Amino acid sequence: MEHKHIAFIGAGNMAGAIMGGLVASGYPAKAITAANRSEGKLETLADELGINTTTDNLKAAEAADVVVLGVKPNMMEGVVKQLAHLNDGKKLFISIAAGVTLAHFEAWFGKAVPMIRTMPNTPSLVGLGMTGLYASDTTNKDDKAISDMLMRAVGKTAWVKNEIELDHIIAAAGSAPAYFFLFMEAMEAKAMELGFDAATARELVQQTASGAAEMVRRRDMPIRELRRQVTSPGGTTAKAIESFQAAGLEKIVADAMDAAISRAAEMAKEL
Ligand SMILES: NC(=O)C1=CN([C@@H]2O[C@H](COP(=O)(O)OP(=O)(O)OC[C@H]3O[C@@H](n4cnc5c(N)ncnc54)[C@H](O)[C@@H]3O)[C@@H](O)[C@H]2O)C=CC1
Ligand SMILES: O=C(O)[C@@H]1CCC=N1
C-alpha cells in the first residue's frame, strides 16, 4: 500500500509522541516529516525515529498529503496563515490544539478546509493515550481512517459528532491525567507524612493506581462494584470513602470537569 506523506508542523511533546507511535507501529519513517521552529528537537527526532526534518513549515506541508498542526493554540493563527494557500480541498489538515475551533481554522484558511480536530492526552507519550476526534463536513472516509490510524498509534480513539463535544473530551480525557496526578500527589504527600521514604511513598501510590486502573480495564463490571469489593462493611475503606463523600467528592469532580469545559470555550473566544 502507498503510504500518505504526513507532515507535522510543530514537533513538540504531543506531536513527537504521535510520530514515535507511528514509526513503532510500522509506518515508514520516510513518509513522515517533522517541521519545527528550533532545531534541537528535530535532531533528536531524526536520530531516534529516522524521519525527515526541516525548519521550513511551508516546505514540509507542501510535500505532504496530511498536515498535522501541532503548535500551541496561540501560535496556530500565524502557522495556518502561512500555509493557507496550500488548502486545495485535497490536503487533509489535522489539529491537535485545544480550543481552536473549525470556525477559527476556516477564517484563517480563508475558506472551508478538510480538517479533523483531535483532542489527545499526555499518556499518548507512553502509548496509552485517549484521543477524541471530530471531522469537518469537507472530510471523507479516507481522511477519517488515516486520522484514526494516527491517533491509534498512541492509544485509543473516540469520535464525536458535534464539535462542542471535543470540549467534553477535554474534561473527561485531555485534561484528566492531571486530576489523577493531583490525587496521587496528595496520597504520596500523606504517605510521606506517615513516615514512608519518598521512593516507597511513590511506589505505594503508583502501584496501587496502576493496579486499580488495570482492574477497571480487565474486569467487565461496573467500577462501583470494584469499589464495593474493597469496602468491607464497617471496615477501614468504608471510613475513608465516607470521608471523601462527606467532603462532596462527586460534586468536586463534576465542578472541575465543568471548569475545564468553560475554559475551553473561553480559550476559543480569546483567539
Ligand atoms: N499537553 C497536553 O496535555 C495536551 C496538549 N494538546 C495540544 O497539543 C499542542 C501542542 O502541545 P505540546 O506538544 O504540549 O507543546 P510543545 O510546546 O511541546 O510543542 C509545540 C512545538 O511547536 C513548535 N513551534 C512553535 N511555533 C512554531 C512555528 N511557528 N512553526 C513550527 N513549530 C513551532 C515549538 O518549538 C514546539 O516544539 C497544543 O496545541 C495543545 O493545545 C492537546 C491535548 C493535550
Ligand atoms: O491544559 C490544556 O489547555 C491542554 C489541553 C488538554 C490538556 N492540556
In whole numbers, what is the pLDDT of the chain averaged over residues?
A: 96
Separation of alpha carbons 79 and 81, rounded Å: 6
Count helices and strands (H / E) in the chain: 12, 8
Percent of the chain topping pLDDT 90: 97
Ligand of minimum distance to the alpha carbon of 122: 1
In tens, the pLDDT along 138-167 reads 999 999 999 999 999 999 999 999 999 999
Distance CA 127, CA 73 (A): 23
| pLDDT tens digits, 95-118 | 999 989 999 999 999 999 999 999
What 8-state DSSP symbol labels residue 3?
A: P
Atom of ligand 2 nearest to the CA of 267: 3
Q: Which ligand is nearest to the CA of 72?
A: 1
The pLDDT of residue 2 is above 90: no
pLDDT tens, residue by residue, 71-88:
999 999 999 999 999 999
Given pLDDT bands bounded at 50, 70 and 90, which one contains residue 1?
A: low
Pocket test for ligand 1, best of 8, 96, 267 (most atoms within 8 A of CB): 96
Ligand nearest to the CA of 17: 1
As a CATH number, domain 176-270 is 1.10.3730.10
Interatomic CA distance for residues 124 and 22, integer angstroms: 11
pLDDT of residue 104: 97
- Average pLDDT of span 13-37: 95
Task: Ligand 1 pocket test: pick from 18, 36, 122 the residue with the most ligand atoms within 8 Å of its Cβ.
Answer: 36
Answer whether 124 contacts ligand 2 (Cβ < 6 A): no
Tell me which CATH code domain 6-168 carries.
3.40.50.720
* Cα 247 to Cα 122, 230, 238, distances in angstroms: 29, 20, 14
Tens digits of per-residue pLDDT, 115-134? 999 999 999 999 999 999 99
Sheet holding 155-159, edge to edge: 52-54, 32-35, 6-9, 66-69, 92-95, 115-119, 129-135, 155-159
For residue 127, say whether it is annotated as part of any ligand binding site. no
Where are the domains positioned within the chain? 6-168, 176-270
* Separation of alpha carbons 33 and 91, rounded Å: 15
Sign of CA dihedral 61, 65, 71, 76: positive
Encode pLDDT of 231-269 as tens digits: 999 999 999 999 999 999 999 999 999 999 999 999 999
78 assigned binding-site residue: no
Question: Ligand 2: distance of its center to the CA of 217 in Å?
Answer: 25
Angle (CA) 12-217-199 rounded to 5° is: 65
Nearest to 2 by CA among 142, 96, 155: 142
For 116-147, give one letter per residue: b (16+ CB within 10 A) or e: bbbbbbbbbbeeebbbbbbbbebbeeebeebb
At 115, is the secondary structure helix, strand, or coil?
A: strand
- pTM equals 0.95
